[in-house]
Chain A
Amino acid sequence: MKPSEMFDPKWVDRFVKAAEAAAATVERIGRSPEALKSALVQAAGETEPVLLAEPDFLPPELFAPFRELSNVITHPDDKQLASVRIGVTDAFAGIARTGSVCVSISKNLGGSVSLFAREHIAVLDARSIVPRPRDLFSNHYFQRERLPENFVLITGPSATADMGELVRGVHGPGRVHILLII
């Protein structure tokens, strides 16, 4: 994938600012399975069931220590999927201008876990941040063949203003927490 070769550290700050403006929270973490595990445990706890969608983009080994915890479910049945409170997915890209994380919708269930959970924890490699939405559509950053077939740009928690005031957490998660691997 090209992005890591073209990565500009300025985009990280911009990404964090934009994501926070979109009411997501962002935490920078180190590039190791242990660092990821400890951040995930801190965010999700060790007792409540947590759904982990197998990563579509990040190396599966990165999640190995976390996956072994007893409260982590990796192959949920449909009931678990529909009723889970906390869900973890990876993201294949981030967008600096808008603070969006891009999650693929595949058999790995990232699309569903990031939708059904009340709280979504997204793991993003800072090196896969691109400056603008349009950069997902240009061969300059992403060869089209390398993009997931189906994906969603997630910009903060689901929200509505239809009931007369801003409410976060409608059909999708009411909280989005981004673990940014630096």
Chain B
Amino acid sequence: MSQYPADADFRIKPREVADKSSRETLSKAIRMALAVESEPVRRNTNTFNQNRYTAVRTIDDYEALKDRARAIKEKAIEQIESSVAVLRKVIEERGGHFYLAKDGADANAYILEVCQKHQAKLAVKSKSMTSEEIRLNGVLEGAGIEVAETDLAEFILQVADEQPSHIVAPAIHRSRERISKLFKDVFHPEQPLETGEDLTKFAREILRRKFLTADVGISGANIIDAETGTIVLVENEGNIRMVTQAPPVHIAVAGVEKIVPHWEDLAPFIELLAPSGTGQPLSQYTNILHPPLKMPSFSFDGRPRRERAFYLVLVDNGRLRMRHDTELKRALYCMRCSACLNVCPVFQVLGGHAFGGETYSGGIGGAWEAGTGSLEKARFSELCTGCSRCVRQCPVRIDIPWLNTVLHDRLNQLDGKGAAALFFGKLFGSESRDREAGVEKQFFGNYATFAKAGSAFAPLSNGISALSPVRHLMEKMVGLDHRRRLPAFQKNTFTKKFAAWQKGREKSSGGKARPAKVLLFADIYTNFLHPESGMAAVKVLDALGIDVRLSDVPAEGRAALSQGMVETAARRANRVAHDLENEIDRGWKIVVPEPSVLALFRRDYKNLLNNNTLFEKLRENSLGAVEYLGHYLTENKIPLQAIFDANRFPPGKRLFYHGHCQRKSLGGIPDEGALFTELGFDVVSSKVECCGMAGSFGYKKEFYDVSMKIGEALFQQIRLADGENPRTIVTGGISCRHQIEEGVHRPVFHPMEVLEKILAAEGGGLS
């Protein structure tokens, strides 16, 4: 199945590709991950997702709780200095020690000093991403102190010498078979360790001895409140309980952003963390601690009992600087639940060794690597396709795709300065700042320029771009993968077809007043690539008595945004929004057949428009084509089924529906698959987050394999739903359409095309 050599032969080690400063390393990491780590990551993240959906349903005020958590975090980050001062006092007053370390080296030096003061020979450690970030283990081991990782996943990683690939389940990339082989090679067990039970028992026995003889326990902290100095630690295995109770000395290491001001502030995080992460109502153990503990210390190995001591080490390491970064600041709200990793289609096929850096992974990982390390190390954030599936899953409502766009933009500036890029950037219409971005980005970010030219010279342009030498040249020049065919440009564009249709219609129709007015947004993709789906929307709306006009065909900023060309995207967004505002003020609804553009108007423009009132206006007045139709029919009490009867759809009632990622992520938008079921269709809906094409993402040479790997799951679902008898495939997104057409080699239709075919069929339409 895999085009890559099997595990045993694959020689790229995760650690070698952890630092993604260079593009070559990123590519290498992707190859390694697709070959070796993809399957367990996909399986495990899917389990987390299913459990999360179930768990959050049990929280009756889930949305309000997320708002509350976000508000607490905003306030907490705002007043972090005063919280640190309060917390220091509280911890010291109850006999603990408090240390604010300015960076990793500072923290490590302090922790080493504490260990040496207590004559530590063995430290047992529970999972702490912060300790990974500061590379604590190496420093302690360098000084002759044994460090035992006791979280089973961290234990595996310690044995394998690999970095975490997930912030909650750090060994998510290893199948049971690969763990079994690792243990066999390293430990040479007498009995073969095959089942999860065998492996767990084996590790437990090793670790139990460590717990009972350790001098120091090192933990992280999930949340800390300043008011009472409570340390909250969440876990499933019991190793954190051991680490914090068994040894006499407890050192907790955490990022300084983990402090919330008040005791009451802890509750929303406790209620949200486990459901959002592993999808449990609560983890097996939620430790609520005010160390040092009052109970006497133990003497399991006969050594004299020692007095219990507690040290809280909070690490700055760039966080306080991040606070002054208007954009990356929001990453500090993260509670490290991993929902954004699990729901991410790219993460699902790669895991965090490719979609991640030296410590942090997934969509949120880029901001963290940039904030605590350097911008170059966030290179993997270019793997974020902007699909937005994570946005509604984040319990503190961080707009993660936007953080990645910002990183993308900054990386463009860092990489830029190439003469070719500057030249092409100007030629293709990028704003001055964005001319720094690479030639490839100038190409994808200014797609409108090419589409116009391509359409003008169609079909010649299509013929040329389909030629093999040209495809290889394009791959070399602009990074367009030669295995992809560029979608054919249409000579007879949506605009042209609409004009011709309108001419014919004016002759035939009377002057009957039409109160419902729709401005159909003619995006560049529909206009130049799929005018027929635009015309289907026109005809359906017109047949229902709606006055339909067509917008101009401006570049609306989606392409530029996807390349991190923020200035260009913002310029385009402001221009388009102002034009549309005039129409909205005159009572027109903006109907947008292409979901990626709808999502732009309803979500992404928030970050691009200079005027928030204008954004709200556009958000409220733009609707998807099917969505608008639904509202219109309901308002006018027209029964849907009477007009669009599935029995009249010529190809038959069996449909496969795939929902566009950004559309699904908007929330509060009707499920089109369910609507088709209501019309009497037999519908199977896709169960993937995204098709994997995601605009230009799948066309890029760098990401083609990732895109197809994501697509594979969707293609399989289609084949399975087909059985012997192919279904009509329906999706709103033009890039989903191209991805599916390449995957299953048959045409795909926009929902409005299906509805239009029903109307056009014999006996269909309005009486």
The answer to whether A and B interact is yes
The answer to whether the Cβ of B288 comes within 8 Å of any Cβ in the partner chain is yes
Q: Given A78-B299, A137-B263, A164-B176 in contact, is the A171-B284 Cβ separation under 8 Å?
A: no
Interfacial residues of chain A within 137-182, with CB under 8 A of chain B in the complex: 137-138, 144, 149-167, 170-173
Closest to B243 in A: A171
Closest to B183 in A: A163
Q: Is the CB of B196 within 8 A of A151?
A: no
Which of A3-11, A25-33, A43-51, A103-111 makes up part of the contact surface? A103-111
Q: How far apart are A54's CB and chain B's nearest CB, in angstroms? A: 12
Q: Is the CB of A134 within 8 A of B281?
A: no
Indicate the size class of the contact surface on chain B: 35 or more
Most buried by A among B40, B153, B237, B245: B237
The answer to whether the Cβ of A100 comes within 8 Å of any Cβ in the partner chain is yes
How many angstroms between the C-alpha atoms of A161 and B151 in the bound complex? Answer: 11
Q: How far apart are B91's CB and chain A's nearest CB, in angstroms? A: 14
How many angstroms between the C-alpha atoms of A28 and B295 in the bound complex? Answer: 31
Which residues of A have CB within 8 Å of B174?
Answer: 164
Q: Is the CB of B271 within 8 A of A134?
A: yes
The answer to whether the Cβ of B291 comes within 8 Å of any Cβ in the partner chain is yes
Partner of A167, one of B197, B208, B228: B197
Q: Is the CB of A154 within 8 A of B197?
A: no
The answer to whether the Cβ of A18 comes within 8 Å of any Cβ in the partner chain is yes
Q: Is the CB of A155 within 8 A of B282?
A: yes
Partner of A170, one of B152, B282, B289, B296: B152
The answer to whether the Cβ of B432 comes within 8 Å of any Cβ in the partner chain is no
Which of B17-25, B199-207, B587-595 makes up part of the contact surface? B199-207
- Interface bits B32-61 vs A (CB < 8 Å: 1, else 0): 000000001000100100000000001000
Q: Given A111-B245, A111-B295 in contact, is the A159-B236 Cβ separation under 8 Å?
A: yes
Interfacial residues of chain B within 116-168, with CB under 8 A of chain A in the complex: 150-153, 156
Q: How many residues of A contact B (CB 8 A)?
A: 50
The answer to whether the Cβ of B450 comes within 8 Å of any Cβ in the partner chain is no
Which residues of B have CB within 8 Å of A161?
Answer: 44, 47, 169
Q: How far apart are B482's CB and chain A's nearest CB, in angstroms? A: 38
How many angstroms between the C-alpha atoms of A132 and B271 in the bound complex? Answer: 8
The answer to whether the Cβ of A35 comes within 8 Å of any Cβ in the partner chain is no
Most buried by B among A95, A160, A173: A160
The answer to whether the Cβ of B285 comes within 8 Å of any Cβ in the partner chain is yes
Closest to B212 in A: A82
Q: Is the CB of B293 within 8 A of A158?
A: no
Q: Is the CB of A163 within 8 A of B152?
A: yes
Q: Is the CB of B196 within 8 A of A152?
A: no
Closest to B278 in A: A161
The answer to whether the Cβ of A89 comes within 8 Å of any Cβ in the partner chain is no
- Interface bits B58-88 vs A (CB < 8 Å: 1, else 0): 1000000000000000000000000000000
Interfacial residues of chain A within 119-135, with CB under 8 A of chain B in the complex: 132-134
How many angstroms between the C-alpha atoms of A165 and B195 in the bound complex? Answer: 8
Which residues of B have CB within 8 Å of A36?
Answer: none
Which residues of B have CB within 8 Å of A106?
Answer: 294-295
Partner of B290, one of A136, A138, A150, A155: A150
How many angstroms between the C-alpha atoms of A171 and B206 in the bound complex? Answer: 11
Q: Is the CB of A81 within 8 A of B298?
A: yes
Q: Given A137-B266, A150-B293 in contact, is the A98-B236 Cβ separation under 8 Å?
A: no
Q: Is the CB of B285 within 8 A of A158?
A: yes
Partner of B267, one of A105, A109, A134, A166: A134
The answer to whether the Cβ of B485 comes within 8 Å of any Cβ in the partner chain is no
Q: Is the CB of A133 within 8 A of B282?
A: yes
Which residues of B have CB within 8 Å of A105?
Answer: 245, 289, 293, 295
How many angstroms between the C-alpha atoms of A112 and B238 in the bound complex? Answer: 11
The answer to whether the Cβ of B242 comes within 8 Å of any Cβ in the partner chain is yes
Q: How far apart are B231's CB and chain A's nearest CB, in angstroms? A: 9
Apart from A82-B300, A100-B282, A161-B44: 18 A-B pairs, beta carbons within 8 A: A95-B282, A106-B294, A107-B296, A108-B295, A111-B241, A133-B286, A137-B266, A153-B288, A155-B281, A155-B282, A161-B47, A163-B196, A166-B196, A167-B200, A170-B200, A170-B238, A171-B207, A172-B237
Subset of 16 A-B contacts with CB under 8 Å: A21-B281, A97-B58, A106-B295, A108-B295, A111-B245, A132-B271, A134-B270, A134-B271, A150-B294, A152-B288, A163-B152, A163-B200, A164-B177, A164-B196, A164-B199, A171-B242
